[in-house]
A and B are shown apart, each in its own frame.
Chain A
Amino acid sequence: MATTGYVIKSLINLIKIRSIRYASGITFVPSQADPSLGEISKMNLCQAINNAIDIAMGSDSSTCLFGEDVAFGGVFRCTVGLQEKYGKDRVFNTPICEQGIAGFGIGLAVCGSTAIAEIQFADYIFPAFDQIVNEAAKYRYRSGNLFNCGKLTIRATWGAVGHGGLYHSQSPEAYFTHTPGLKVVVPRGPIQAKGLLLSCIRNENPCIFFEPKLLYRAAVEDVPIGDYETELEQAEVVKEGKDITVVSWGTQLHVALDAAKVAEEEIGVSCEVIDLRTILPWDIDTVAKSVKKTGHLIITHEAPITSGFAAEISTKERCFFHLEAPISRVCGWDTPFPHIFEPFYLPTKWRIIEAIKKLIDFQH
């Protein structure tokens, strides 16, 4: 009896936690896989990533997976079962030292091994900034292609999670997009995560792969179980529209889709929503084509607005004569990522809706 009471109490508490955790109001919008990719299975984002690494390790015996706490399956369970399957020499823990992890990964890749390095949170990638920006990104260039670390992929959990505060919520992609030589990729769901991660691992350039941690469990899709790759540097038009182009990536893409839905139903504005997917080098053609059609552009990301990647997208001089209104950026504020104020910090769907209204009402 007491036990039952305890269980019920716990459940009530859990519901309370849930309501806090999803304060940012993300509604995950699942995608459909290309039917030509064959048999599918339900996977959340964690499982899709695990599946991608599993396939990568199975198809290339030089592949090693390493980082803090990956051996027992990782703090987000993305690497569960891989050590048992591939052995301790291929899946192993490292000391807690991000610059060491990145440098070690470069060294493996220099000798032709495939290296999948995990940084536990993107917030903690900064100790490795020097290794990534001064070393990994410049290896091929500076040596005249005598040496390269193209077989390095760095995975890191990324983005808001409802209660991550300053150091479990950051979206540092813009820091890296200022570095020629890197590829920076952010998936929006399990199907994509698997295809894009396999592409990153097999790509001949160092890649940073950011995994939206809010979606690890919340995002479930029917993911093809086979080996497939999703092309890098290709944006995807997730929803067609004719009045406004909305560009985003990762978790925020779902916020944008949500806002587009509301805008359509309540104010009759048709939004075209584009998932950028690869942030560096980015697919300007897909975005420009859409903006030429709609004449309006909104870019939205969780990271702070000043020098965020939206600034780069909005200054491309490709659509000047097609723009009916100034380009709008809906982003995080220029503050560190706060804990208790998260619902007010994030670029919510309401802020995107407001931006849509302003664009449509814009008077020359």
Chain B
Amino acid sequence: MLAKFRQYFIQTYTQLSSMLALRENIPSFSLRFCNTKSDFRINEFTDKYLSHRKAEFTEKLEIISSTYQPTIPIYRVTNSEGQFIDPNYDLDLTKEIAIKMYQNMITLHQMDKILYDSQRQGRISFYLTNTGEEAAQIGSTAALEDTDLIYGQYRETGSLLYRGFPLENFMHQCYGNAKDIGGGKQMPIHYGSSEHHFVTISSTLATQLPQAVGSAYAFKREKNGRIVLAYFGEGAASEGDAHGAMNMASTLKCPVIFFCRNNGYAISTPTTEQYGGDGIAGKAIGYGIHVIRVDGNDLIAVYNATKAARQMAMENEPILIEAMTYRLGHHSTSDDSTAYRSNEEVNIWQQNDNPIIRFRTVLQNMEWWNDEEEMVYRQKAQKEIMKAFLYAEKIPKPNILSMFDDVYKEMPKNLQEQRDELAEHLNNYGRYYPMKNFEGT
């Protein structure tokens, strides 16, 4: 009820009246009687051309500057030191969830470190860390219902971790072993889990965005109370698919949250070379979707913003969240970020605005967490991660011929023939292939 109140009464008067008009379902093709031709046209433009936004004629020749609207502010609850800005702030967060989010951030950070190092040792082929963006990922997922569908880009491991995806499953995927529920088909970090409503990651940037809109539309028709959240980076927002998705979400009124992690870089490209406007949030208004920009390193702010956004999405009002953060790690193990940014810049961010330290301060000030718990938890997490890691390393790779599975639901004849051909070939030439690492054919 409160959300409804906020939604409809913080609007400007014109938006309010148009909303009400919409709600009363006045068919837009009915012509109203007007006093003058100008009135008639303004009504036509308002109702049919401008999504019920009231336009005016002007005799002043004025080209609107791109800075016409104020920059969208960055919502935060705490400052970089982890102090509440408003000392009387009323925290809408249970201790249980707060601790869980924090522990997940720690686990994620440690898992990143172990897997990053393992790639450096040549044990896995590729990795990509989440360093500096733990709060953006975990704070947003924690604000959803567990059955809400998540589409990710690839730097959202924390979301899946929060949903309870087992540690060894991350490892199985990175190793592409026989226990990888993805079948060992994709590069490391391309996780997915139907059980956790987390759609399998693909490398192609922004393709998940129109898909998320389609899934949200399906939920809307089913009236199942679920929404969809789609993560993407500020670089991916330049793709055509991002444009298509936001436009379709708007015209088709889908229960979807677009969650942009604006971390300042797309590999080596700084945001100044990615867009010229008011970030990603600035685009939303043009599409007619709601928007909030949030301090992505403030876990509580991210959580609150996503929770409020979910309320809106439930009303079939699509919404965009832009989380301002910083990519502390390299883009991936294939990238050396010192080639395009200074160590000094990274260190300053690390010192001045680390999401984990920031939230730890909040917890400690509230006496929900202390140094001893910190030490115990870190050791425990470290142990569990290493255990899962070493376990996954020992599991053999999947059956070679499973390479032909799941191309289609059934296996067409040509694929059956090709599978047999490979089996026959390996019978004769197996000694030239890494057969011993794979489960028997």
Contact = CB atoms under 8 A, between A and B. Distances in A.
Interaction A to B:
yes
A140 B218 contact: no
Given A64-B221, A95-B251, 14 more contacts: A100-B213, A103-B241, A104-B213, A107-B216, A107-B218, A111-B149, A112-B218, A140-B407, A141-B183, A144-B185, A148-B409, A180-B415, A183-B408, A204-B410
Interface string B28-65: 00000000000000000000000000000000000000
Given A130-B204, A143-B192, A147-B200, A105 B248 contact: no
Contacts of B194: 146-147
5 contacts: A94-B248, A100-B244, A138-B202, A142-B200, A233-B412
A336 interface: no
B170 interface: no
Interface in B182-209: 182-186, 190, 192-194, 199-200, 202, 204, 207, 209
A89 interface: yes
Interface string B409-441: 110111100000000000000000000000000
Given A146-B192, A146-B194, A180 B217 contact: no
Interface of A: 62, 64, 89-90, 92, 94-95, 97, 99-100, 102-113, 115, 127, 130-131, 134-135, 138-148, 150, 180-181, 183, 204-205, 233, 281, 284-285
B364 to A, nearest CB: 40
A150 B409 contact: yes
Interface string B235-263: 00000110111011001100000000000
B181 A103 contact: no
Interface in B43-95: none
Contacts of B218: 62, 107-108, 111-113
B414 A281 contact: yes
A142 B185 contact: yes
Contacts of A104: 210-211, 213-214, 217, 248
Contacts of A112: 218
A5 to B, nearest CB: 37
B406 A97 contact: no
B180 interface: yes
B244 A143 contact: no
Contact of A107 (B210, B243, B412): B210
A100 B185 contact: no
A144 B252 contact: no
A221 B199 CA distance: 44
B212 interface: yes
Contacts, number: 154
B412 A141 contact: no
B215 interface: yes
Given A95-B244, A142-B186, A135 B202 contact: yes
Which 8 A-B residue pairings sit nearest by Cβ, starting from the closest?
A107-B214, A103-B210, A100-B244, A144-B183, A143-B200, A107-B211, A104-B214, A111-B218
A155 B404 CA distance: 27
Interface residues of B, number: 48
A204 B212 CA distance: 20
Interface of B: 149, 180-186, 190, 192-194, 199-200, 202, 204, 207, 209-219, 221, 240-241, 243-245, 247-248, 251-252, 405-410, 412-415
Contacts of B213: 100, 103-104, 107
Contacts of B248: 94-95, 97, 100, 104
Contacts of B407: 140-141, 180-181
B217 A131 contact: no
A146 B204 contact: no
B409 A281 contact: no
B183 A134 contact: no
Contacts of B243: 97, 100
Contacts of A64: 217, 221
B182 A108 contact: no
A95 to B, nearest CB: 5
B185 A99 contact: no
A317 to B, nearest CB: 12
B207 A147 contact: no
Contact of B207 (A62, A103, A108): A103
Contacts of B412: 233, 281
A131 B242 CA distance: 13
A186 to B, nearest CB: 18
A139 B408 CA distance: 10
Contacts of A138: 202
Nearest to B195: A146
A327 B110 CA distance: 62
Contacts of A140: 406-409
A141 B245 CA distance: 24
Contacts of B190: 142
A131 B210 contact: yes
B193 A111 contact: no
A146 B414 contact: no
Contact of B240 (A90, A127, A233, A281): A127
A99 B192 contact: no
- Counting chain B CB atoms within 10 Å of each CB, which of A89, A99, A147, A148 scores highest? A99
Nearest to A203: B409
Contact of A131 (B207, B219, B415): B207
- Counting chain A CB atoms within 10 Å of each CB, which of B213, B218, B219, B414 scores highest? B218
B240 A106 contact: no
A110 B409 contact: no
Contacts of B251: 94-95
Contact of B217 (A108, A127, A145): A108
Contact of A134 (B186, B202, B221, B240): B202
Nearest to A93: B251
Contacts of A109: 214
Given A140-B407, A141-B406, A147-B200, A135 B244 contact: no
A222 B204 CA distance: 46
A108 B215 contact: yes
Given A127-B240, A138-B202, A107 B217 contact: yes
B185 A103 contact: no
Contacts of A131: 207, 210, 241
Given A103-B211, A111-B149, A204 B182 contact: no
Contacts of A135: 202, 204, 207, 211
A234 to B, nearest CB: 11
